[in-house]
Amino acid sequence: MHKPLLAITLGDPAGIGPEVVAGLWPDRRLHELCRPLAIGHPAILRRAVELWQTRARVAEIDSPEQARPTVDTIPCLAVGGPETLEIPPATVDARAGQAAYEALVLAAKLALAGRIDGLVTAPLNKAALWAAGHHYPGHTELLAELCGVRDFAMMLYLPPDAALAAAAGLGVVHVTLHMALREALAAISTPAVVAKIRLADQIMRTLKGTQPSIGVAAVNPHAGECGLFGDEEARIIEPAVTEARAAGINVVGPLPADTLMVRAAAGDFDAVVAMYHDQGHIALKLLGMHRAVNVTLGLPIVRTSVAHGTAFDLAWQKKANTSSMLEAVRVAAQLGSTGK
């Protein structure tokens, strides 16, 4: 069976990303899922290999077609100049932001050209990205611009396991993402909610193979309590759910957020549409922090990522947990094999 060719970016060199990649590489499950290659500074990756004390050799390549990965060989497309090697660990540094940016841009261009089947990203530091002059809230928005799309979303996804009743796992799609809470509330609109419901339906159809069930979160406590605690539910969210249902999507809501995720974990829903970042992130990460995967929806390419950040408090101490990266590769391999 064809194994998809997946590029794994190292993310911020000062963070935990290079360690996660180097630590996962000897795991045979990675190679059973895909043909992986790394994108980043080879010397940084060699430092991470030395930290883990594995037998892996970093082999610089000039094109993804040259990749011949094994548990002992890490093909690496080199990006970043010698200044990358001067970056101190666990530090917000513009040079690190630039290195992460260059790796992501290269991976996206390769995916758009059809030369790889998808990309999996280690975390970047948003402050470092901005310090390098790239003013994006994160991977999601930057990738959307590179791909020329406006209708996109981030889904935090928990693959199937014994803790979830849903056979296809559980996805949480966010209407708003990386912005201040007061700005997020102002950004919630009926068209935005409809768009995210559609994206949730599309991705979960692919992952489930049949029509999914989607629950939409309210934004106010008790879903507004008939308008006592706010009118966003009746004014914005209910019309969106009605429109999506009329289009044939199996969706209900708005539902109180405090019980919605309990019902979703019990199998009532395959996906949840959350109104803002922490409404979805906190609940899903409590269900499975180290197994959660970040999936970008609406792109013409496959992109997944770990669900954690650069972890400066743990970086370069051989404390990296590789579980989320393995799951991110697993999901990317599934989507890359099915054409999303």
Residue that wins the pLDDT comparison between 336 and 81:
81
**Which tens digits make up the pLDDT trace of 37-87?**
999 999 999 999 999 999 899 999 999 999 999 999 999 999 999 999 999
Q: Which amino acid is at 34?
A: C
| Dihedral sign of CA atoms 57, 60, 63, 66 in order | negative
Cβ neighbours for 114, distance < 8 A, ≥ 6 positions apart: none
Q: Which residue from 17, 24, 40, 36 is spatially nearest to 104, judged by alpha carbons?
A: 40
Q: Which of 18, 336, 330, 340 is nearest to 158 (CA)?
A: 330
Given the structure tokens 């949840």, which residue do they identify? 272
The DSSP result for 113-175, as a single string, is: TTSSSEEEE----HHHHHHTT---SSHHHHHHHHHT-SS-EEEEEE---TT---TT-EEEEES
| Residue 212 near residue 172, CB atoms below 8 Å | no
Over the chain, what is the mean pLDDT?
94
Asked if residue 64 lies in contact with residue 110, where contact means CB atoms within 8 angstroms, the answer is yes
* pLDDT band at 340; cut points 50, 70, 90: very low
pLDDT at 338: 61
What DSSP element (H or E) covers 293?
A: strand 293-297
Q: Which stretch of 15-24, 177-186, 234-243 has the lowest confidence by average pLDDT? A: 177-186
Which amino acid appears at position 94 of this protein? A
Whether 146 has a pLDDT exceeding 60, the answer reads yes
> Do residues 293 and 118 lie in contact, with contact meaning Cβ atoms separated by under 8 Å?
no
Region 268-280 average pLDDT: 96
Place of tokens 């992130």: 281
Instruction: Give the bridge partners for 216, in sequence order.
Output: 273
pTM of the shown model = 0.92
User: Per residue in 28-38, pLDDT tens?
Assistant: 999 999 999 99
Q: Are strands 303-306 and 118-121 parallel, antiparallel or unpaired?
A: parallel
Which amino acid would we find at residue 11?
G
- Domains of the chain, first to last: 1-149+299-340 (3.40.718.10), 152-297 (3.40.718.10)
Residue type, 336: G
Distances (CA, A) of 8 to 46, 122, 196, 262, 332: 15, 7, 27, 33, 11
CA–CA separation, 150 and 39 (whole Å): 26
Please say whether the beta carbons of 70 and 28 come within 8 A.
Answer: no
Q: In what order do the strands lie in the sheet with 293-297?
A: 57-61, 73-78, 35-40, 5-9, 118-121, 303-306, 293-297, 153-158, 170-174, 271-274, 214-217, 251-255
Q: Using CA atoms, how far apart are residues 293 and 171, in angstroms rounded to an integer?
A: 9
